[in-house]
Structure 1
Amino acid sequence: MRCMFDPSIKCDYINNNLAESFNGWIKDYKDLPPDELADTLRELVMKLHEKRRKIGMKLKGKIIPAIIQQIHNRTRGLKHLKVGKSGVASCEVRDTSKYNLRHVVKTDQSECTCLEWQQTGKPCEHALAFLLDRRNPRWEDYVHDYFSLEKFWAAYAGEIE
């Protein structure tokens, strides 16, 4: 349940594949002696870090483009949501496909009662339904800074030696 997650951590994908991915990444090096394994891992991380730094330097805008694309993709198929505006920045959204469940959206606070927006840092489908009524919404205004290019660049600014 979303109510049990810390909303300061922006994550919308939770599973246990991290260890499997890591093991797949190092499978050719597992038999190395520990000191060589550590050095090889350092080199792999160093190359990955540099690759992502180069990718980041080519990106334009305020928010990581893949996140904006995710939002665009999620704006399709929202006809089952009915928006009842209560103000410029808030509304009630009724989901006609799920027992008429209702959620309150507050765009000025990046909140929805479904808690998805608070947890992921990206507008939930209820918020998207409300925001789509606006003419050409600037999606970057509704995404947490966690997904900003500035944060991406900062993550890969340092050097690994």
Structure 2
Amino acid sequence: MRKFFWKASKTGDKYEFNKCLQNIDSINPHAMAYLAAIKTCHWSKLAFDNSIKCDHVTNNMTEAFNSMLKDFRAMTYLGLMEYIRRMVMNRFQLRKEDYSRLGNGIPPPVNKKIKENSVKCRILRTLHSSQGKYEMLGLNRAYTADLNDKTCKCGQ
């Protein structure tokens, strides 16, 4: 009966699936009644969602996450979740300490992007309008930016 169950759970062929269920029913009707009470999509590949293209997750993100858990993977769910919570809190604290050492408070990747964009926008002429408000005049268009509200009419 166990052989027929695993064959039914792994097959994608409806005829083969029904044949295995008939064999299970002939061996043990109580087992068949038990399986009938469970939705097929929870235990058989035949009823799984076809939009899912992969039944095996081994991507870099999963591998990196599993390597971070190390020996804690064998813990109970509650213990594992507590370990992950503490690990995330520790990482947030380390990042906060790293960025608090910066003089201007702007993280290096953001600062780099600001410098790159400032070089790209040199075709614009900037006019100071009022406190924190500027107007950038381009070749074909003018944009207004409010640094206090962190908005720009260009949409970016």
TM-score by length of 2: 0.40
Give the helix-richer structure, 1 or 2: 2
**Structure ranking higher on relative contact order (CA contacts 8 Å, 6+ apart):** 1
Larger radius of gyration: 2
TM-score by length of 1: 0.39
